[in-house]
Amino acid sequence: MPIETFIAQVESIKNLTHDVRQLDLRLIEPKTIAFKPGQFISFEMPHPRTGHLVTRAYSIASQPSRSDVVTLLFNLVPGGPGSGLLFDLKEGDKTHFKGPAGNFYLREDPGRELLFIASGTGIAPIRSMLLANAECPDPRPATLLWGLRSQRDLYYQDELVDLTRLTPTLQVITTLSRPEPSWPGESGRVLRLIEERITSVENLSVYLCGNSAMIADATALLQKKGLCPIYREKYYDDKGAPED
Ligand SMILES: Cc1cc2nc3c(=O)[nH]c(=O)nc-3n(C[C@H](O)[C@H](O)[C@H](O)COP(=O)(O)OP(=O)(O)OC[C@H]3O[C@@H](n4cnc5c(N)ncnc54)[C@H](O)[C@@H]3O)c2cc1C
C-alpha cells in the first residue's frame, strides 16, 4: 500500500480518562484509506522549543473495514509536540497526515493462536487487530494481556467485554500496576501475567506494543519459554523506567 497524504476532519473526540483521548478523523481527500490492522499514520508539526519540523507516529486504532474514518488513541505528554497537536484539535478542525506505514500488522501464521500484550496506549494497534479478527468468519483464538496503572486509567473495559461476547475464543485480562485496594482484578505488571499464564509459546504468535522496557522484558520472558514469532511496536524509550 503506497504512503499517501490525507486531509481529514475531526468527527468526534472522546475523553477516555483524565489523560487519554480518542479521536475519530473522517477522511476528506482521499476519502478512504487501505491499511493492515496494526499500521500507523504520521503527523508533522513544528517543535515548540526549536521550531524544527518533527514527525510523530500514531497507530490506527480502528479496523480496516472502516475505511472512511480513522480512530486514534493517545495520551497527553506534557510539552510534547505530537500529543499536543492531537489534544489541541477540536471537532470540525481539519488536519493532514501521511500513511499508512509500518511492519507491525496482523500476520496469517497458520495454526497459531494470538497473544497480544500491551502497556498503556499500546492497545491502539491491538484494538485494530482484535476488531479485524472479530470480523473474520472464523476468528482465531486470542488472548490480550493489557497493563495500565490504576483504576482512573481504565478504558475500553466494556468494549472488550462486548468483544469477548462476540468472539468467545477471545480472553482479555487487564492488570493494574498501582491499583487501589478495592480493585478486584489482576494487579502487577503484564510481565507477571506472562510468567503465570503463558505456559508454552509453541502455538502462539505474539504481538507486543508499548514502551521499550515492557517490550524488552516481555521478549526475554517469552523467549525463555520457547520459540515463536514475536512482533513488536515500540512507542518510546523509557530508559529502564517501569512499564506504567
Ligand atoms: C510506530 C509508532 C506508533 C505510535 N502510536 C501511538 C499511539 O497510537 N498512541 C500514542 O499515544 N502514542 C503513540 N506513539 C508515540 C507517539 O509517536 C509519540 O512519541 C508520543 O505521542 C509523544 O510525542 P510528543 O511529541 O507528544 O512528546 P515527545 O516530546 O516526543 O516525548 C517526550 C518524552 O515523553 C516520553 N513519552 C513518549 N511517548 C509517551 C507516551 N505515550 N506516554 C508517556 N510518555 C511518553 C518519552 O520519554 C519521550 O522522550 C507511537 C510511536 C510509534 C513509533
pLDDT at 1: 79
Nearest atom within ligand 1 for CA of residue 104: 1
Residue type, 104: F
Q: 177-235, pLDDT tens digit by residue? A: 999 999 999 999 999 999 999 999 999 999 999 999 999 999 999 999 999 999 999 99
Any domain includes 195: yes
| pLDDT at residue 14 tops 70 | yes
Q: Are residues 118 and 228 in the same domain?
A: yes
Looking at the structure, tell me whether residues 16 and 81 fall in a common domain. yes
Assess if residue 58 is contained within a domain: yes
CA distance 150 to 129: 25
Which pLDDT tens digit goes with each residue over 99-141? 999 999 999 999 999 999 999 999 999 999 999 999 999 999 9
Same domain, yes or no, for 119 and 29?
no
Do residues 134 and 97 both lie within one domain?
no
Q: Are residues 45 and 129 in the same domain?
A: no
Q: Is residue 107 part of a domain?
A: no
Domain boundaries, position 54: 4-101
d(CA 236, CA 33): 26
Examine residue 223 and state whether it is found in any structural domain, yes or no: yes
Cβ(205)–Cβ(216) below 8 Å: no
Residue 244 has pLDDT above 60, yes or no: no
- Euclidean distance between CA atoms 83 and 78, whole angstroms: 8
Give the span between the Cα atoms of 204 and 157, in whole angstroms. Answer: 24
d(CA 26, CA 71): 9
Q: Phi and psi for 76 in degrees, rounded to 5?
A: -75, 125
> Do 183 and 228 sit in the same domain of this protein?
yes
Mutate to test the pocket of ligand 1, among 52, 58, 76, 243 (most ligand atoms within 8 A of CB): 58
Instruction: Note whether residue 120 is domain-resident.
Output: yes
Which residues' Cβ are closer than 6 Å to ligand 1? Answer: 40, 56-59, 73-75, 77, 80-84, 102, 121, 124, 233, 235-236, 238
Q: Answer positive or negative: Cα dihedral of 161, 118, 57, 242.
A: positive
Whether 242 is covered by a domain: the verdict is no
CATH number at residue 186: 3.40.50.80
User: Which uninterrupted H or E stretch holds 236?
Assistant: strand 230-236
Looking at the fold, whether 89 and 170 belong to one and the same domain comes out as no
244 lies in some domain: no
Round the CA-based radius of gyration of the chain to a whole number and report it.
18
Both 232 and 122 in one domain: the answer is yes
Q: What is the pLDDT of residue 87?
A: 97
Same-domain check for residues 167 and 72: no
The pLDDT tens digits for 61-106 are: 999 999 999 999 999 999 999 999 999 999 999 999 999 999 999 9
- Confidence tier at 242 by pLDDT (50, 70, 90): very low
Using the 8-state DSSP alphabet, how is residue 164 labeled?
A: H
How far apart, in Å, do the first and last CA atoms of the chain sit?
34
Last residue of one domain, picked from the residues 68, 101, 134: 101
Domain count for the chain: 2
- The CATH code of the domain that includes 38 is 2.40.30.10
Does the pLDDT value for residue 241 go beyond 80?
no
Q: Which of 101, 129, 149 is the last residue of a domain?
A: 101
Indicate whether 167 and 219 sit together in one domain: yes
CA dist., res. 180 & res. 167, Å (int) = 30
**Confidence bin at 43 (pLDDT 50/70/90):** very high
Domain shared by 149 and 188, yes or no: yes
58 DSSP 8-state letter: E
Q: CA of 244: how far to CAs of 87, 112, 115, 122, 199, in Å?
A: 21, 29, 20, 11, 25
Q: How far is the CA of 81 from the centre of ligand 1 (A)?
A: 10
Last residue of a domain, one of 49, 74, 101: 101
Q: Nearest Cα to 106, choosing from 204, 231, 209?
A: 231
Task: For residues 144 and 158, give the distance between their C-alpha atoms in angstroms, rounded to a whole number.
Answer: 14
Q: Are strands 69-75 and 20-29 parallel, antiparallel or unpaired?
A: antiparallel
Task: Please indicate, yes or no, whether residues 86 and 121 belong to a single structural domain of this protein.
Answer: no
Q: Is residue 108 part of a domain?
A: no
| Ligand 1: centre distance to CA 235 (Å) | 6
- Grid cell 497526515 is found at 97
For the CA of 45, the closest atom of ligand 1 is 25
Q: What pTM does this model have?
A: 0.96
Write down the pLDDT at residue 126.
98
